[in-house]
Amino acid sequence: MDVRQLEMFRAVAEEGSFTRAAERLHVSQSAVSRQVQLLEDELGGRLLHRGKRAQPTPPGELLLRLAQRVQRDMQEVVGQISDTQELRRGNLTLAGGMTVCMHILPPLLKKYRRQFPGVELRVMSVSADTTLKLLRAHEVDLALLTLPVSGPDLEVVPVLKEEMVAVMAPGHPLAKQRTVDPQTLARFPLILYERGSNSRRLQDGVFAELGAGLKVAMETENVEIIKSMVAAGLGITLIPYAAIARDVRARRFAFARLRGRPPYRETGWVYLKGETQPRAVTEMLKTFESMRDAFGSRLPAS
């Protein structure tokens, strides 16, 4: 068994086709078939079910995991060797929610790209659950997520704490209030994050003692849709002040702090534990640290 055979087997298993595997590796289909057959002869059994789609047998599944691990290890070693030199190339895939992708990543990636123009950057805006699956599948390198996030295989580094405020259109009856209580907010239609998200759990916590009877006009994970609905006068919301700081200065929205203990949304970097992080990742963390104060939008003085 050699690395090239493992690479060909992995390509067939992942593509589900000898033809597509050959195209991916830029070799002939007969070469792929021959090497996979030699691998099966050496190991003494079928590794792939040949049919409409080539699928790994149970022994093939074991070998596929090995092949993927070997590939990751090789990439890591190459990365570590490259890291002894200047960071001139590489790939970095980040993931985050809508607010992160709109308000934090653009200036962060702009500065990072100026420092490391040879690194290929990719950004994904998906749910937290999907992000964690992609991290574990090594399809995402680094994520900036609303906390709490936990897992024995995850490293979680809190980096931002943002106050959530009540946001309404300038003509709303509460627009001139500097502080409000949950009972007052509950009298109006609410536009909230979707159920199940950490941000929604924070919103629900504000109204927990009020029980049922909330008027939820809309639920969405898209903070820009939330803002559009609020601007149209269809309801009020609770979102981090950072998401509306510029709009408040432009008088597109009014806001009020919550009386008592205002809710705070915490955001943190999440990546896989126990692995040497590529330099592209560590440099991203350093770049963020150098800009952290710019992301913590302060509320205007009362």
Give pLDDT, residue 83. 54
Q: Break the chain into its structural domains and give their ranges.
A: 3-83, 90-159+266-295, 161-265
In this model, does residue 194 exceed pLDDT 80?
yes
Among 146-150, 183-187, 295-299, the minimum mean pLDDT is found in 295-299
Handedness of CA 267, 273, 279, 280 (dihedral sign): negative
pLDDT in tens, 119-143: 899 999 988 899 999 999 888 999 9
Its CATH class, for the domain covering 90-159+266-295, is alpha beta
Q: What is the mean pLDDT of the chain?
A: 88
Of residues 114, 122, 123, the one with CA closest to residue 87: 114
In this model, does residue 81 exceed pLDDT 70?
no
Give pLDDT, residue 103. 84
For residue 154, name the pLDDT band (cuts at 50, 70, 90).
very high
Strands 216-219 and 90-96, sheet pairing: unpaired
What gap in Å lies between CA 112 and CA 87, rounded to an integer? 11
Decide if 270 contacts 154 (C-beta within 8 A): yes
pLDDT in tens, 255-271: 999 987 788 999 999 99
- Work out the average pLDDT over 105-122: 93
Q: Would you call 106 exposed, middle or buried from its count of C-beta atoms within 10 A (0-12, 13-18, 19+)?
A: exposed
In this model, does residue 84 exceed pLDDT 80?
no
Number of neighbours of residue 182 by Cβ within 10 angstroms: 18
- Is 3-83 a domain of CATH 3.40.630.30? no
CATH superfamily of 161-265: Periplasmic binding protein-like II (3.40.190.10)
Give pLDDT, residue 167. 96
Among 193-197, 241-245, 292-296, the minimum mean pLDDT is found in 292-296
